[in-house]
Amino acid sequence: MRIINRAHLPWFVFVIAATVFAIWLYVGNFAPQNLPAALHLPDSLQQKPPENHRVGGTPLGLIFGTIALSIFVFAALLGVRKKVVLWRVGTVQRWLRAHIWLTLLTIPLVILHSGFRLGGPMTTLIIVLYLVVMASGIYGLVLQHYMPTAMMERLPAESVYEQIPHIRAQLVAAATKMRDSFRPVPLSKPDAGAPAPSAEKTVTAGSAPMASTAAELSTPTARAKTVVGSTITAETVAAAERKPEQKSAAPAATPIPPPAVAQTPLKPAPKPAPPATDADSEAALLELLDRQIIPYLSVHRGDRMLLGNARFSEDTFRFVKLRVTEAYRERVEEMQSWCDERRMLDLQLKLHHWLHAWLFVHAPVSFLLLMLVFWHAFVTLFKY
Amino acid sequence: MADVVEKLTTGEPLTVDQLIEYLPALKEIPRAQLDNWAKGAAVLHRYRKGEIVCEEGEFGSTAYYIVSGTVDIFIHNPLAHLRTNPVVGMFGRSFKRMRSFLTSDQTDLRPEAHQRKFIGIDADVDLPINRPLAQLGPGELFGEMTCRTYQPRSATVQAREPCVMVEMLRVILDMLVGNRTPSDVTKATTKVKMPTFKGTSFKAELEKKYRERSLNNHLRSVLLFASLDDEFIEHLRQHVELVSYNQNQIICKEGDEADAFYLIRSGMVRVSNALPGGEMVRTYLSRGDYFGEIGLLRSIKRTATCAALDAVDVVKIPAADFNLMLERFPQVRQQIEAVAGARLAAHEQKTIPAGVHLDDFLNQGLFEAQNLLLIDLENCTRCDACVRACATAHDGVSRLLRDGLRYEHFLVATACRSCRDPLCMTQCPVGSIRRKENLEIIIEDWCIGCGKCAELCPYGNINMHPLEVTREVKTEIKGKDGAPSTFKVEQKKMMAYKANTCDLCTQLSTPSCVYACPHDAAKRVDPQRFFGDAIAAQSELIGASWATLPQRYETHHTH
C-alpha cells in the first residue's frame, strides 16, 4: 500500500467526472456543432462565443478561472495546515488527497479557461509557472509514491536524518581511536568536527590488540544486528555513560584508584590476545586507516571516494584480511563495518535529498504563481 | 576507567591524622596505605542550619559521613506522575491542545502501580511514601551508591542543625567498608592495579545500626510482612543474615534449589532468564524490592537467575525462618500464595515453548500490547510531521522518535517493552522505573526527575517532561550585629521534571501524530487485530497457547 491507494479512487472518479462535465460545458458553449444533438446544452446555459477568442472573459471562462483560483488558494493552505498540526480540521492525509486531486483538476480548468491560447506575456508567464508547479508536484508525488519502499529495502538500518552527522563523527572517532592504538603518538585529527578520541584504553604499539570498539558505537547498524531489542548491556552503558560528567570535573589532587566498574565490551570479554603482536599487520592496517578509511569516513561526499564503492570496499577488505595475521582479522571486519555503515548513511542522505528536494521548487514557485494569478484576476476584472 | 576523575566539592582538606580523628575505624588500615591513598581523598564540611548538602538528581561521586549534627533527607520533586488530557477550548475540540499535568496514584490509580509504603534511597533509611522525609544523625553514612556507581543523588539532604560532615571519595569508602571485588570481565579490561581493602569495624557498626534502626521498617515495608506481629518481626530481625555481593555475582540461579528469601538493602539486582537465542533480562530490582518467594512457597526450583549488577547488599531470610513464618501466620501464607500464583502464571505464560527463538518471542511481546504506534515504511516519506505534532501536543516535548524496531514493513515506534536488557532501570537512584507484567515500562510517582532513564534508553522512548510547580524556598537572612539569623519562607515557581513514556494518546480518538501524518503512514493499532493472521501463523507453527485468538487482519480502521 503506497501513497496512492484505494482511498484515492473516489477522488479519481470525481476528477474525471468534473473534467468531462467541464469539457461538455465548454464544447456545448463554444463549439456546439461538434456535439451530437442529444448532448446539446439546454438553452439556459448557452452563451455567445467570444468574438475575440478570449474565453477567460466569458461568464463560463470566468467560472473556470474562479474555480481554478479557489483550488490554488486551497492548495496553498496545505502549507498552513501542516504548520498548525493540532487543529482538528480534517486529517492532513485528507487535505493532501484533496490537494493532489483538486490541483490535477485545475489542468482542464486552466486549459479551458485559457481557451487553448497563451495570451499576452503575463498570462504566458503564469502558464509557464503553472507548468513548473504542476510538473514538480507530479514529480514529487511519483517520488513519494515509490521512494519510501526503495528506502525501506535498501536501508535495513535507517537512522534519524538529523543524527547522521553525529553518527559519522562517531565512526571517525572509532577509526581514529583504532589508529592511535597502533601508533603511540596521535597524529593531527583529519576531521576537526569529530570528537576527540578518548585516552582510555590507548594501547601502544607492541601491546596486545585492543578490545573491540563496537560496544561504544550506538549506530543504527550496531543496533540492528539483532532484529529485536537492545543488545547493549547494562555494564557497557553504565561504564560508557560515566565519561561526560567526569570530563568536566577538575582533576583530583592525588591519584585516586579507579572505581571497580570499568568498561565492559558488548560481547563476552575478548579472550586475552596472543602476546606477540605482528608489526607487519599493524603497519598494513595503519596504512589502510590513514590512507583510505579515515579520509573516507571524514569526507563530506563519501560516494566520490573509492571506498564509497561497495565492490571496491569488499575487495579491499578481503585483500587486507589476507595480509594480516589471524589476530587482526576481527578488527579488519570492524573497519569494514564502519565503511559499510558510512556507505549506508550516504545512501540515506542521497535518497532523503531526492525525496524532499523537489519541495524547494514546488513551494516557492507555487507561492509566486498564486501572487501572479491574483494580479491577473485583479487586472482582468477591474482594469478591463 | 583509568581516566575517571572524581571530584570533591570544596571543603576543608583533611590530613591523614585529622581524618583518623573523625573516622577512628581507619586506624585499622595500615598507615602506609593510608598515606598512599587517603591523602586528599576526603574533606571536611561545616554546614549551617538549613544549608543544602546535596540535591536530588544531581551528579555525584562521593559519600558523606555525618560527624555531628542531624540532617533532613527528603524528596521535594512532587510525588506524582504525568497525565496528559485533551483540552476543550472555545471552538470545542477543533482547535484543541493537550494539557499535561501531575496527578498522584491516590487520585488516578494506574494498573500495576506499586503499592509501596516506603521509597528506598541511597542511605540506610527509607522515606515514607506519604511524607518522604527522614533524619540522619551522627555516625551515619549516605551517598554510598552514588559513590560506587555514579547514580544521581537519590534525595535532597539539608542540615537540620549545624552539622559537620566528612565528604569522601570512593577510596575512603572502600577502606571503611571493604572494596568490592570487580568481576572477571572488569578485571580483564582494566589495566590499573587496585589496592585491596578488607574493611574495618565500621562496616560491622553500620550493619548493627541498620539492624537496630532500619531493618524493622524495611521488613515492614514488604507488603507481605505487613500483617506480622511485632514479636515475629523482632524474631526475623535477630535471625536474618546481612549478605553482600560483588559485581556480577550470582545471588540465586535459575534451576537451583530455593533456600532463602531476599530483601534488597542496597544496589541493583538483575533478574534474568536464559532463553534460546540469548539472555532475557526480566527486570532490575532495587532497594526495598524482594525476590525468592516463589521457590520457597511452592518448593520448586528457582525460576530466574538473580545477579548483582554492582555491589549489592541483601537481607537474607533463611528458608527455615520463612517457613516458620508461614506456619505461624496462615493469613500471610494466603497472601503470598496469591501473589506467587499470579507471578508464576505470568511466568509460565511468558515461557518460550521449545524451539522458539528469543526474537520471535519478543515479537510476541509486541502483539500483547494494548496499542501500538506503527509507521508504515512503504508510505513514510520521513517528513517528521508526526514528531512535530507530538511535540506541539505535549508542550514542546516530543514523545515520539521515528526510530525503533522493524516488524515486516512497519517501524514500531514505541518499543520499550522489547528490550532484552532494560537499561533504563539500571541507574534509577530511587527504583521508580520498572516493568509491568507485560514488559511495558511504568514510572512510579516517586520519580525524582534526574533523567538517567531517558539518557539510557537506547531508543529514546523515555523523555523528561518539564512542569511548573510551586515550591517552598527558605532563605536565610543574616541578623545584624550578631543577632540570630532568620528564615524567609517564599513560594517560588520552579521547574520539576518527570520521566514519561508515550501513552499513544489513548484519550484521543486519533493521536496527534497520526492525525498529522500526510501519507497514511502513522497508525495506532490494536496489535491483536492488526497482526491477527501473523499471530495465527506463528502460533500454528510453534503450537503455542500464549497467542490469543486472532481476528481478521485489518488494513484500515486502525485508529
Contact list in A for residue B190 (CB cut-off 8 A) is: 258, 262-263
- Kindly list the residues from chain B whose CB atom is less than 8 angstroms away from the CB atom of residue A352: 382
A232 with B423: Cβ contact below 8 A: yes
Binned at pLDDT 50, 70 and 90, residue A234 comes out as very low
Residue A75 CA to residue A104 CA, distance in Å, equals 11
Looking at residue A26, its amino acid is Y
Average pLDDT, chain A: 77
Mean pLDDT, chain B, as a whole number?
Answer: 80
> Given an 8 Å threshold on Cβ–Cβ distance, is A258 in contact with B1?
yes
CB pairs under 8 A between A and B: 244
Closest by alpha carbon to B544, among B408, B336, B356?
B356
Residues A152 and A203 in one domain: no
B515, closest residue in chain A (CA to CA): A91
Most confident of A172-186, B35-49, B430-444, B542-556: B35-49
Say if the Cβ atoms of B5 and A246 lie within 8 Å. yes
C-alpha cell at A183: 601508533
Pairwise CB contact (< 8 Å): B385 & A229: no
Higher pLDDT, B530 or A125: A125
Q: Measured between beta carbons, which residues in chain B are less than 8 angstroms from residue A201?
A: 189
The shortest C-alpha distance from B489 to chain A (Å) reads 33
Q: Is the model's pLDDT at A124 over the cut of 90?
A: yes
What band does A37 get if pLDDT is binned at 50, 70 and 90?
Answer: confident
Q: Which three cell numbers stand for residue B215?
A: 531493618
Clarify whether residues A102 and A204 are in a common domain. no
CATH code reported for the domain at B222-349 = 2.60.120.10
Task: Give Cα separations from B503 to B109, B235, B385, B418 (angstroms).
Answer: 15, 45, 18, 16
Rounded Cα distance between B258 and A341, Å, is 48
* Phi and psi torsions of A263, nearest 5°: -65, 135
Mean pLDDT calculated for residue range B184-189:
60
Percent helix, strand and coil across chain A, each to the nearest 5: 65, 0, 35
pLDDT-derived band at B504 (thresholds 50, 70, 90) equals confident
Domain that holds residue A133: 6-156+359-382
Q: What pLDDT score does B372 carry?
A: 79
DSSP code string of B379-395 = T-----HHHHHHHHHTT
pLDDT number for residue A253: 37
Q: Is residue A267 part of a domain?
A: no
Nearest CA in chain A to B182: A260
Nearest residue of A to residue B194, measured between CA atoms: A257
Given a contact cutoff of 8 angstroms between Cβ atoms, the answer to whether A276 and B32 are in contact is: no
Q: A126 with A77, same domain?
A: yes
Q: What was the pLDDT predicted at B360?
A: 59
Residue of B nearest to A237 (CA): B456
CA A373 to chain B, closest CA, distance in angstroms equals 27
CA dist list (Å): B215 to A116, B133, B139, B265, B328: 93, 17, 17, 9, 21
Interchain contact, B6 vs A91, CB within 8 Å: no
B439 pLDDT more than 50: yes
Residues A222 and A364 in one domain: no
* C-beta atoms of A1 and B379 within 8 A: yes
What is the DSSP-derived secondary structure letter of residue A57? G
* B403 contact residues in A (CB cutoff 8 A): 158-160, 220
When CB atoms are compared, the residue of A82, A228, A237 closest to B418 is A228
Closest Cβ opposite residue B389 in set A85, A230, A239: A85
Task: Kindly report the number of other CB atoms within 10 A of residue B118's CB atom.
Answer: 22
Within-domain flag for A254: no
**Chain A residue nearest residue B427, CA to CA:** A238
Q: Which member of A200, A218, A234 has the closest CB to residue B2? A: A200
In a domain, A53, yes or no: yes
Cβ atoms B284, B430 nearer than 8 A: no
Task: State whether A237 and B426 contact (CB < 8 Å).
Answer: yes
Which residues in chain B have their CB less than 8 angstroms from residue A152's CB?
377-378, 409
Considering the domain architecture, whether residues A208 and A108 belong to the same structural domain is answered as: no
Residue A244 lies in a domain: no
Residues A248-266: what's their mean pLDDT? 37
Lowest mean pLDDT among A232-241, B50-59, B239-248, B282-291: A232-241
Residues 6+ apart with CB under 8 A from B464: B397, B449, B451, B454, B497, B498, B499, B500
Mutate to test the interface with A, among B96, B147, B190 (most CBs of A within 10 A): B190
Asked if B7 lies within 8 A of A144 by C-beta distance, the reply is no
All residues of chain B having their beta carbon less than 8 Å from the beta carbon of residue A249 are 5-7, 61
Same domain, A67 and A202: no
Residue pair B461/B106 in contact (Cβ under 8 Å)? The answer is no
Q: Do the Cβ atoms of A230 and B459 come within 8 Å?
A: yes
Q: Is residue A352 part of a domain?
A: yes
**Mean pLDDT to the nearest integer, B60-74:** 92
* pLDDT tens digits, B259-274: 888 988 888 899 888 8
Chain B nearest-CA residue for A163: B403
Domain ranges of chain B: 12-75+121-200, 77-114+420-457+462-470+490-499, 222-349, 353-419+502-559
Q: Which region among B104-113, B283-292, B334-343, B348-357 has the lowest average model confidence (pLDDT)?
A: B348-357
Q: pLDDT band at residue A243, thresholds of 50, 70 and 90?
A: very low
Judgement on whether residues A201 and A304 belong to the same structural domain of the protein? yes
Residue A272 located in a structural domain: no
Instruction: Give the residue from chain B lying closest to A267, CA to CA.
Output: B185
pLDDT at A204 over 80: no
A44 and A125 inside one domain: yes
Matching CATH topology for B12-75+121-200 and B222-349? yes
Whether residue A231 is found in the same domain as residue A322: yes
Global ipTM: 0.73
pLDDT for res A365: 97
* pLDDT recorded at residue B39: 83
What is the largest distance, in Å, between two alpha-carbon atoms of chain A?
Answer: 106
pLDDT at B299: 76
C-alpha cell at B205: 557498626
- Shortest distance between the Cα of A231 and any Cα of chain B, in A, equals 7
> What pLDDT is stored for residue A268 in this prediction?
44
Q: How many CB atoms lie within 10 A of CB B477?
A: 9
Q: Do B310 and A261 touch (CB under 8 A)?
A: yes
Rounded to two decimals, the pTM is 0.72
Note whether B188 contacts A272, CB cutoff 8 Å.
yes
Residue in B224, B215, B556, B517 with CA at minimum distance from that of residue B387? B517
| A contact test, residue of B15, B194, B375, B382 with most A CBs within 10 A | B382
Residue A238 one-letter amino acid:
A
Q: Where are the alpha helices (DSSP H) in A261-358?
A: 279-288, 294-298, 310-323, 329-357
For residues A79-84, give the mean pLDDT.
89
- Fold for the domain defined by B12-75+121-200: Jelly Rolls (2.60.120)
Whether the CB-CB separation of B242 and B313 falls below 8 Å is answered with: yes
Q: pLDDT value at position A242? A: 43
* H helix runs in B270-367, sequence order: 293-298, 319-328, 330-349, 358-367
Interface with chain A: mutation pick from B244, B279, B378, highest number of A CBs within 10 Å: B378
User: Do A263 and A201 meet the contact criterion of CB atoms below 8 Å apart?
Assistant: yes
CB A313, CB A339: distance < 8 Å: yes
Closest by Cβ to B186, choosing from A152, A229, A261: A261
Determine whether the interchain pair B393/A92 forms a contact, defined as Cβ–Cβ distance below 8 Å.
Answer: no
Report if residue A264 sits inside a domain: no
pLDDT at B234: 83
Q: Do A151 and B382 touch (CB under 8 A)?
A: yes
Same domain, A43 and A183: no
Q: How many domains does chain A have?
A: 2
Residue B533 identity: D
Question: Which helix (H) or strand (E) covers residue A137, if one does?
Answer: helix A121-154
Which of B84-88, B226-230, B306-310 has the largest mean confidence? B306-310
- Taking CB atoms and an 8 Å limit, are B377 and A152 in contact across chains? yes
- Chain B residues whose CB is inside 8 A of the A265 CB are 189
Residue B537 has pLDDT above 50, yes or no: yes
Same domain, A210 and A133: no
Q: Does the pLDDT at position A286 exceed 50? A: yes
How far apart (Å, rounded) are the C-alpha atoms in residues A232 and B304?
21
pLDDT > 70? residue A188: no
What pLDDT digit, counting tens, does each position of A333-384 carry? Answer: 999 999 999 999 999 999 999 999 999 999 999 999 999 999 999 988 887 6
Is A353 part of a structural domain of the chain? yes
Does one domain contain both A290 and A150? no
Q: How far B88 CA lies from chain A's nearest CA (Å)? A: 12
